[in-house]
């Protein structure tokens, strides 16, 4: 096995220490770039301002009686969300980040299940929160990120900042001197529920700090880096890797205005690091090649890729200069793409690297705060989800004849358990091992490869396991196919493999612009493509039925298909 060289890290005891030391080390540096205060251009917020706002808010929350209580934060990615999260977890109580896209009844269930005492919310969920306030919940205060005046239980976030500032000036040090027990419950996270109902994951600061320390040893994150915050910040992947990690490193976070503005915002903010899900990276990559083909430059670009890759091997790195037009689409500063939440197509990772953008993927879960495995920026396999996080253990349980089994992990990143759910906790945690429910194998070099979800496995009459995610990856690699979902239907005493497919209409329109295709003709084109794909698969994995979808799959906020809902339809 290759000897691995890890990056040095700065040791921190807890998130409060991380915030305070970073704000001292980088006090005059820009922590955030935001447009939330009504500006057309990005507004800079320095680290010293971040610490001041967190201290003021934390002091006011403790003074309002919320010490040790659970406080929910619900809203879009923005600076005020970040301050609220940090104030709660760094000395007030237990933070409960919630998905603002949840329906009202689901938000109510989460608030009740977590026994929330206060809610900090944005105008994006104003109507839902006002309706919830009429329900008979034991919520003492609703803190509006965007309201100007206090009325009954509705309190302005900015009034709390002012209150906290005055209290500190008067000598109140309740928040400033707050002690942190890293072993205790610090955060309750509701899983996205892609295969079943959401679980309430309990994380400690020890879980989060361990994960920050360890993944920073595997990827080079720099003080001068600018991150684009695009994925929903309530999700543990974005929260830990795209929010807390930049603070730890003294980097800058620019908030994205939405999926349509990704590349515009990358240019405006001079972004160098971008975290996203495979769907985003793969769509951007296909667009790059579509533009290359449109300009009739395919052969030229492929020859330049070969040349620059050869030069790389002898220490001459000129990819950024040669492919500057591609880099300019992302603002010219991007050096690192990190994919998570699902497996990325290996060709996409390798393809970005051909253009001079380091691209790696990792794997994790809310229950592991979040990273379990990660490809390093200097040592990676594009078809793998990475190496086990530094300082953790990994095993493959209940291995079948192909060497595939359930991925299990053990270490300080593993959750405390599921909140008020002893039965589910016992199923997931056994003798310190967390059973992920994901299926895969570990190769001779230590890299882990994931084949699918345990709950999604399709079993044929002959006992063969079919992992739908593997087939979907091959399907989605086709230029004709935008997205797919593979599942099974009963056929006599066996099963047949079915694929629901969303067509890449843009590609088909461009390819057949001189002879537009009807719906039936498009289905026949897709079926011929599927038949070609079947030839690359073993017979028991062959797709025998396709359905062309016009409507998008229902997804979580991290763009994962909600299989259990789609299959029910």
- 477-534 pLDDT, tens digit per residue, is 888 888 888 888 877 767 788 888 999 888 888 888 888 888 888 899 999 999 998 8
The average confidence (pLDDT) of the chain is 91
Of 264-273, 513-522, 556-565, the range with the highest mean pLDDT is 264-273
Given a cut of 90, whether residue 150 has pLDDT beyond it is yes
Rg (CA), the chain: 24
Given a cut of 60, whether residue 70 has pLDDT beyond it is yes
Given a cut of 50, whether residue 249 has pLDDT beyond it is yes
Given a cut of 60, whether residue 431 has pLDDT beyond it is yes
Given a cut of 80, whether residue 2 has pLDDT beyond it is no
Position 569 scores a pLDDT of 55
Spatial CA neighbour of 300 closest among 332, 322, 331, 329: 322
Position 194 scores a pLDDT of 43
Share of the chain above pLDDT 90, in %: 68
pLDDT band at 402 (very low <50, low <70, confident <90, very high): confident
For residues 122 and 100, is the Cβ–Cβ distance under 8 A? yes
Weakest-pLDDT range from 150-154, 409-413, 548-552: 548-552
Position 447 scores a pLDDT of 96
Position 91 scores a pLDDT of 97
d(CA 429, CA 424): 9
Give the global pTM: 0.84
Report CA torsion sign: 226, 231, 236, 239: positive
List the CATH code of the domain at 15-180: 3.40.50.12780
d(CA 377, CA 400): 32
Average the pLDDT over 318-326 and give the result.
94
d(CA 535, CA 539): 8
pLDDT band at 205 (very low <50, low <70, confident <90, very high): very high
d(CA 125, CA 101): 8
d(CA 110, CA 116): 9
Structure tokens at 386: 């990475």
Q: How far is CA 506 from the centre of its chain?
A: 27
pLDDT band at 334 (very low <50, low <70, confident <90, very high): very high
pLDDT band at 564 (very low <50, low <70, confident <90, very high): low
Angle at which helices 346-354 and 278-294 cross, to 10°: 60
Given a cut of 60, whether residue 449 has pLDDT beyond it is yes
Given a cut of 90, whether residue 396 has pLDDT beyond it is yes
Buried b (16+ CB within 10 A) or exposed e, 99-116: bbbbeeebbbebbebbbb
d(CA 154, CA 169): 25
Position 464 scores a pLDDT of 64
pLDDT band at 217 (very low <50, low <70, confident <90, very high): very high
Given a cut of 80, whether residue 456 has pLDDT beyond it is no
| Tens digit of each residue's pLDDT (9 = 90 or more) over 130-149 | 999 988 788 999 999 999 99
Considering only the top CATH level, what class is 457-568?
alpha beta
Given a cut of 60, whether residue 22 has pLDDT beyond it is yes
pLDDT band at 474 (very low <50, low <70, confident <90, very high): confident
| Tens digit of each residue's pLDDT (9 = 90 or more) over 34-53 | 998 778 899 999 999 999 99
| Tens digit of each residue's pLDDT (9 = 90 or more) over 177-195 | 999 999 999 999 998 654 4
| Tens digit of each residue's pLDDT (9 = 90 or more) over 352-389 | 999 999 999 999 999 999 999 999 999 999 999 999 99
- ω into 133 cis (within 30 of 0): no
d(CA 390, CA 475): 34
Domain residue spans of the chain: 15-180, 273-454, 457-568
Spatial CA neighbour of 308 closest among 355, 273, 349: 355
pLDDT band at 281 (very low <50, low <70, confident <90, very high): very high
Fold for the domain defined by 273-454:
Rossmann fold (3.40.50)
Position 246 scores a pLDDT of 98
pLDDT band at 238 (very low <50, low <70, confident <90, very high): very high
């Amino acid at each position: 096995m290759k000897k691995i060289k890890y990056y040095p890290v700065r040791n921190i005891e807890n998130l409060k220490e991380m915030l305070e030391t970073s704000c001292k080390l980088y006090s005059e540096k820009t922590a955030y770039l935001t447009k939330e205060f009504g500006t057309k251009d990005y507004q800079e917020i320095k680290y010293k301002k971040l610490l001041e706002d967190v201290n003021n808010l934390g002091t006011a929350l403790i003074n309002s009686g919320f010490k040790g209580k659970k406080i929910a934060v619900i809203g879009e990615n923005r600076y005020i969300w970040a301050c609220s999260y940090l104030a709660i977890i760094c000395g007030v109580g237990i933070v409960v980040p919630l998905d603002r896209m949840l329906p009202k009844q689901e938000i109510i269930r989460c608030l009740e299940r977590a026994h929330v005492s206060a809610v900090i919310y944005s105008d994006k969920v104003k109507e839902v929160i006002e309706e919830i306030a009429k329900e008979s919940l034991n919520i003492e205060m609703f803190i509006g990120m965007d309201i100007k005046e206090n009325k009954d239980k509705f309190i302005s976030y900015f009034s709390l900042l002012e209150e906290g500032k005055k209290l500190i000036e008067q000598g109140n040090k309740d928040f400033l001197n707050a002690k942190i027990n890293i072993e205790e419950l610090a955060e309750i996270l509701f899983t996205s529920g892609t295969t079943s109902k959401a679980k309430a994951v309990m994380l400690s600061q020890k879980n989060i700090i361990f994960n920050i320390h360890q993944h920073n040893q595997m990827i080079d994150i720099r003080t001068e880096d600018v991150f684009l915050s695009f994925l929903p910040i309530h999700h543990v992947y974005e929260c830990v890797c795209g929010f807390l990690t930049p603070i730890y490193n003294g980097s800058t976070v620019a908030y994205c205005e939405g999926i349509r503005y990704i590349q515009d915002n990358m240019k405006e903010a001079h972004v160098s690091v971008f975290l996203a899900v495979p769907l985003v990276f793969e769509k951007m990559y296909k667009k790059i090649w579509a533009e290359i083909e449109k300009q009739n430059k395919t052969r030229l670009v492929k020859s330049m890729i070969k040349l620059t890759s050869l030069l790389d091997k002898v220490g001459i790195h000129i990819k950024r200069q040669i492919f500057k037009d591609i880099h300019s689409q992302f603002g010219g500063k991007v050096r690192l793409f990190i994919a998570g939440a699902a497996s990325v197509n290996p060709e996409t990772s390798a393809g970005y690297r051909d253009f001079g953008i380091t691209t790696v993927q990792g794997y994790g879960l809310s229950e592991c705060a979040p990273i379990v495995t990660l490809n390093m920026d200097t040592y990676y396999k594009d078809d793998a989800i990475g190496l086990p996080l530094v300082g953790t253990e990994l095993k493959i349980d209940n291995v079948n004849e192909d060497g595939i089994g359930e991925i299990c992990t053990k270490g300080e990143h593993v959750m405390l358990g599921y909140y008020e759910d002893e039965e589910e906790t016992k199923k997931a945690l056994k003798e310190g091992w967390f059973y992920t429910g994901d299926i895969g194998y570990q190769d001779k070099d230590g890299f882990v490869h994931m084949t699918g979800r345990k709950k999604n496995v399709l079993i044929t009459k002959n006992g063969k396991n079919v992992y739908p995610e593997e087939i979907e990856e091959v399907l989605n690699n086709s230029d004709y196919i935008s997205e797919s979902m593979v599942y099974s239907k009963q056929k006599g005493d066996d099963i047949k493999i079915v694929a629901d497919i969303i067509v890449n209409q843009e590609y088909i329109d461009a390819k057949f612009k001189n002879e537009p295709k009807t719906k039936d003709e498009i289905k026949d084109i897709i079926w011929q493509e599927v038949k070609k794909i079947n030839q690359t698969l073993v017979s028991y994995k062959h797709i025998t039925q396709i359905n062309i979808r016009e409507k998008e799959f229902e997804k979580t906020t991290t763009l994962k298909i909600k299989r259990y809902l789609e299959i029910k339809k």
